[in-house]
């Protein structure tokens, strides 16, 4: 197996092993909180009762969390277009889908200037390919469009939506549990339950989200490689990423915040590189308090939780692959 493929494989295996360990730790920690309390109160069969309470709480939190999550299509604010309305776009998508051996997706267009491109759907036969006007206008030539579509359909072939949803489960549960216990006011004696669960949820959320982000970055690189192989042109994808990245950098922060819900699924991260700085004071000349700390925390958050590799690294990897192909053909 080539070293690049081995690196991707090892990265995915390591991330999955990490998320399994975090999940086991979360379940064991939640069980341990109730086991300690029931043992202290000398209530019979604390191990069995703790397991039952843990299962009920986590199942309830999971149900409540997924029940209130809006669909990605609604986040993307996209409308499905017919083959008659976009024949060239469907023709290109059909050609790329055949090369990757996946069903032809339905295409939806978001009337936004922010460059978005994402594949939505758990099953390959029920995928929506969402593209924004900003993406379609930024790309130049059929080669760049093919490269972007190939990247997104590579995610479909690799079933990334299903995998990422599955590995994100402990993060969703930890966040839901933490949110609910934090809303408890004046817990009194209940603090012996609330405080440990709040601490445990925070730790699991940070560790879990960090590992999920790492896995996401690995799978983005895998989709880049698959797209380059399907189209035969790593340079086209590198060029497309460069154009989209430039447009994202020029997009106002408030517009990027509006699409934060689909940032992790899009071909490039839609998160601002810098936090928004609002000057204070009557004349707008006063810097916000602890601005240096806010900037550092923002950079740390991006380092830990960014779901995409740095665009520069992706472009360099694709450019190196293009040069290697040129040398092979020479």
**Catalytic center residues:** 152
Q: How far apart are the first and last CA of the chain?
A: 24
Instruction: Return left, alpha or beta for 198; rule: phi > 0 is left, psi -120 to 50 is alpha, else beta.
Output: alpha
Residues 109 and 163: beta-carbon distance below 8 Å: no
Residue 119's DSSP bridge partners are 129
Query: Of all helices (H) and strands (E), which one includes residue 118?
Result: strand 117-120
Q: How far apart are CA 24 and CA 20, in angstroms?
A: 6
Rounded to 5°, angle at Cα 152 from 148 and 153: 115
Ordered strands of the 117-120 beta sheet: 78-81, 106-110, 128-132, 117-120
Instruction: Return left, alpha or beta for 288; rule: phi > 0 is left, psi -120 to 50 is alpha, else beta.
Output: beta
Q: How far apart are CA 80 and CA 109, in angstroms?
A: 6
Concatenating the DSSP letter of every residue in 212-242 gives: HHHHHHHHHHHHHHHHHHHHS-HHHHHHHHH
> Residues 6 or more apart from 171 whose CB is under 8 A from it?
204, 205, 208, 209, 212
CA torsion 157-160-165-168 (nearest 10°) is 160
């Amino acid at each position: 197996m080539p070293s690049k493929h081995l690196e991707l494989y090892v990265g995915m295996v390591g991330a999955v092993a990490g998320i399994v360990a975090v999940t086991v730790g979360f379940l064991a920690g939640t069980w341990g909180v109730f086991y300690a309390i029931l043992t202290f109160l000398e209530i019979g069969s604390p191990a069995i009762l703790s397991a039952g309470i843990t299962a009920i709480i986590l199942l309830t939190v999971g149900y409540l969390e997924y029940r209130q999550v809006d669909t990605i299509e609604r986040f993307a604010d996209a409308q499905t277009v017919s083959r008659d309305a976009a024949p060239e776009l469907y023709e290109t998508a059909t050609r790329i889908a055949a090369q990757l051996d996946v069903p032809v997706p339905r295409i939806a267009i978001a009337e936004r200037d922010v460059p978005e491109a994402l594949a939505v759907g758990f099953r390959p036969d029920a995928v929506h390919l969402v593209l924004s006007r900003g993406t379609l206008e930024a790309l130049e030539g059929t080669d760049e469009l093919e490269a972007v579509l190939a990247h997104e359909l590579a995610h479909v072939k690799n079933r990334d939506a299903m995998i990422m949803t599955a590995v994100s489960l402990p993060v969703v549960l930890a966040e839901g549990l933490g949110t609910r216990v934090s809303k408890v006011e004046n817990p009194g004696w209940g603090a012996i339950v609330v405080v440990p669960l709040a601490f445990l949820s925070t730790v699991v959320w940070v560790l879990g989200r960090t590992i999920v982000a790492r896995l996401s970055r690995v799978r983005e690189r895998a989709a880049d490689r698959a797209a380059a192989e399907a189209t035969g042109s790593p340079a086209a994808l590198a060029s497309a990423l460069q154009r989209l990245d430039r447009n994202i950098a020029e997009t106002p922060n408030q517009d990027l915040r509006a699409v934060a819900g689909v940032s992790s699924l899009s071909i490039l991260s839609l998160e601002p590189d810098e936090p928004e700085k609002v000057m204070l004071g009557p004349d707008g000349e006063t810097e916000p308090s602890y601005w240096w700390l806010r900037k550092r925390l923002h950079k740390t958050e991006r380092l830990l939780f960014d779901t995409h590799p740095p665009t520069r690294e992706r472009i360099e990897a694709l450019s190196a692959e293009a040069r290697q192909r040129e040398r092979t053909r020479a």
